[in-house]
Amino acid sequence: MKSQLKAGALLSYIALFISSAISIVYTPIMLNFLGQSEYGLYSLATSASGYIGVLNFGLGNAVIRYTAKYKALEDEEGCSRLYGMFFIMYSILGALALVSGIILTLNSENIFSSSLSVTEVNKLTILMIIMVINISIGIGLGLFSVIVLAHEKFIIQKVITIAGTIINPIIMVPLLSMGYGSVSLVIVTTIISFITILINIYYCFKVLKIKMVFKKVQKDLLKEILIFSSYIFLNLVMDKIYWSTDQIILGIYSGTVAISIYTIGASFTGYFSGLSAAISNVFLSKVTGMVTKEASDKEISDLFIRVGRIQYIILSFALSGFIVFGREFIDLWVGKEYRDSFIIAVIILIPSIVSLIQGMGGIILQAKNMQRFKSVVYFLIAIGNVFLTILFVQWWGAIGSAVATAAAFTIGNIVVMNVYYWKKLKIEILKFWINILTMSFPFVMSLAFGLTINNIMLADSWIILFIKMVVFSILYTLLMWLIGMNNYEKDLILSPLKHITRRFKKEKLYKVS
């Protein structure tokens, strides 16, 4: 169990590193072959069709939660009946997603005709219909990938993710170079997604040997699951409105170029979210088990603080590095015409960091089935963000959209949710922030050092930027190790190294003997 957790977290970071590295290399290639306008169109199609993705109704978290519950109770029959019921629910939602997606696609001309040409609208329609098919299949058969996670088989899940991430650009780069555009991109993505689903189905039945029992639905259990999932579903809807509506509004008022610039800036939020989620997501089953066994508020609070500290070590390094080198990186990466993307990224990232290092809060709420308040908060800030974005976009364009997002995020996710964690979850929020503040000296000192270097020498080549980043990384690591990290966090690094060293010595002695 512990080995799966550790390996899952490690592979999550490996997957994130690989996907980020590929994205860094792949994105300018895409921009070069597609052009700024078609890349913006592709981003718009992704945002628009992505809305039907929320029709998975948040069932994935319910599968994980109730699987953990039945496993704790050692009720295999109940688990099999649960999977049978979930399979029916997923199938219905997949069909609903397909119908909804087709309706949305057919109305795309009415929504975007004021800012897009006839040719762009036609291509947008083709892109969206392929994406809708991909998402609908993913929802309808999505149960199997979640079952793998519910059984805490993180290794196979992450290996599949890593393989798909690598294969996609290997196929796409030659196609793009031969003149195939964004349509070929979404077709390849759909094929890879379908193969991934087939692998998960095989693993569930042949390796995990799961069973699905289709008996009379337990109405009480169904009601409980629907109530649990409804709040997660509302969170998904609000999250989609919050993070994807900006591109839609820019598509209505500003066109594809503004979408392209905003998408590049906002993409860094995805990298940071991945860094945080790589740790917190593997803890849902663990926290559910703790709640089922009635762990104390102090035990859960200590876990919240412990995981938050680890996330902050990683995220503060990433944020300080981006603030120092982000503008130079974007100039070299995609060109100076995307310089506003750096401003957009910084505006969004700074308040986002707080929510990301408190990712365990959402996991604990799910485990305790207490998502209602957070769902209401998300609803209010998402609606507020839409109104602010419509207003600010007309004043400041893409940057205005980022300002609206950051303002709504600060009020809801930072101020309101911290009070809720403190009052209702009984998490020691003051102790949490004391921990974070004492760990912030390396962040501040590294930031000051990096900005000083930039005043002396700005990078005009990848080599100079790389050297500066290495020096910065060494300084941050030393400072965090000496004055930021506690013994537990140091041991997380030292223990695997000691294990590898001992194993190497044993193998060496064995060969000698």
Residue pLDDT, tens place only, 67-91: 888 887 777 888 888 899 999 999 9
Position 97 scores a pLDDT of: 93
Position 198 scores a pLDDT of: 94
271 shares its domain with 410 = yes
Q: Which two tokens stand for residue 15?
A: 């997957």
187 shares its domain with 260 = no
Q: How far, in Å, CA of 128 to CA of 112, rounded? A: 13
Q: What is the mean pLDDT of residues 39-46?
A: 85
Residue given tokens 């031969």 in the structure block? 178
Q: How far, in Å, CA of 318 to CA of 241, rounded? A: 26
Position 69 scores a pLDDT of: 80
Looking at the chain, the whole-number percentage of residues with pLDDT higher than 90 is 21
Q: Is the pLDDT of residue 431 over 80?
A: yes
Tell me, yes or no, whether 227 lies in a domain. no
Q: What is the mean pLDDT of residues 344-372?
A: 82
CB of 212 closer than 8 Å to CB of 83: yes
Structural domain containing residue 400: 254-503
User: What is the pLDDT confidence band of residue 453, given thresholds at 50, 70 and 90?
Assistant: confident
Position 282 scores a pLDDT of: 60
262 shares its domain with 191 = no
User: What is the pLDDT confidence band of residue 491, given thresholds at 50, 70 and 90?
Assistant: confident
Q: Is the pLDDT of residue 510 over 60?
A: no
Position 228 scores a pLDDT of: 78
Position 504 scores a pLDDT of: 65
Tell me, yes or no, whether 508 lies in a domain. no
pTM of the model: 0.71
Residue environment code for 284-319, b if the CB has 16+ CB neighbours within 10 A, otherwise e:
bbbbbbbbeeeeeeeebbebbbebbbbbbbbbbbbb
Position 512 scores a pLDDT of: 54
Q: What is the mean pLDDT of residues 404-433?
A: 87
Tell me, yes or no, whether 239 lies in a domain. no
Question: 457 exposed, middle or buried (CB, 10 Å; 0-12, 13-18, 19+)?
Answer: exposed
11 shares its domain with 112 = yes
Position 216 scores a pLDDT of: 76
210 shares its domain with 74 = yes
Q: Which two tokens stand for residue 86?
A: 């979930």
Q: What is the mean pLDDT of residues 166-172?
A: 91
Domain termination site, one of 188, 217, 246: 217
Domain termination site, one of 166, 200, 217: 217
Q: Is the pLDDT of residue 507 over 80?
A: no
Q: Is the pLDDT of residue 165 over 90?
A: no
Tell me, yes or no, whether 290 lies in a domain. yes
Q: How far, in Å, CA of 194 to CA of 50, rounded? A: 17
Q: How far, in Å, CA of 236 to CA of 247, rounded? A: 17
Q: What residues contact residue 164 under an 8 Å CB cut-off, 6+ apart? A: 192, 193, 196
300 shares its domain with 204 = no
75 shares its domain with 192 = yes
Where is pLDDT greater, at 505 or 339? 339
User: What is the pLDDT confidence band of residue 161, given thresholds at 50, 70 and 90?
Assistant: confident
Q: What is the mean pLDDT of residues 119-136?
A: 91
| DSSP string computed for 183-251 | HHHHHHHHHHHHHHHHHHHHIIIIIS----------HHHHHHHHHHHHHHHHHHHHHHHHHHHHHHHHH
Q: How far, in Å, CA of 162 to CA of 143, rounded? A: 20
Q: How far, in Å, CA of 127 to CA of 121, rounded? A: 10
Q: What is the mean pLDDT of residues 251-260?
A: 77
Q: Is the pLDDT of residue 3 over 60?
A: no
Q: How far, in Å, CA of 26 to CA of 94, rounded? A: 31
57 shares its domain with 171 = yes
Position 284 scores a pLDDT of: 57
Mean pLDDT of the chain: 83
Domain termination site, one of 169, 191, 217: 217
Q: Is the pLDDT of residue 426 over 90?
A: no
Q: How far apart are the first and last CA of the chain?
A: 35
Q: How far, in Å, CA of 389 to CA of 247, rounded? A: 10
Where is pLDDT greater, at 4 or 201? 201
Q: How far, in Å, CA of 321 to CA of 427, rounded? A: 30
Position 6 scores a pLDDT of: 60
| Number of domains composing the chain | 2
Q: Is the pLDDT of residue 475 over 80?
A: yes
Determine which helix (DSSP H) or strand (DSSP E) holds 123, and give its type and residue range.
Answer: helix 118-140
177 shares its domain with 290 = no
295 shares its domain with 386 = yes
Q: Is the pLDDT of residue 486 over 70?
A: yes
Q: Is the pLDDT of residue 1 over 70?
A: no
Q: Is the pLDDT of residue 107 over 70?
A: yes
Tell me, yes or no, whether 364 lies in a domain. yes
Tell me, yes or no, whether 224 lies in a domain. no
303 shares its domain with 418 = yes
Length of the chain: 513
Tell me, yes or no, whether 455 lies in a domain. yes
- The pLDDT tens digits for 184-212 are 999 999 999 999 999 999 999 999 888 89
Residue 24 has a CB neighbour count (10 Å cut-off) of: 13
Where is pLDDT greater, at 295 or 62? 62
105 shares its domain with 6 = yes
CB of 297 closer than 8 Å to CB of 81: no
CB of 268 closer than 8 Å to CB of 303: no
Q: What is the mean pLDDT of residues 352-368?
A: 80
Tell me, yes or no, whether 512 lies in a domain. no
- The pLDDT tens digits for 326-350 are 889 988 888 888 888 899 999 988 8
φ/ψ of 85, rounded to 5, equals -65, -45
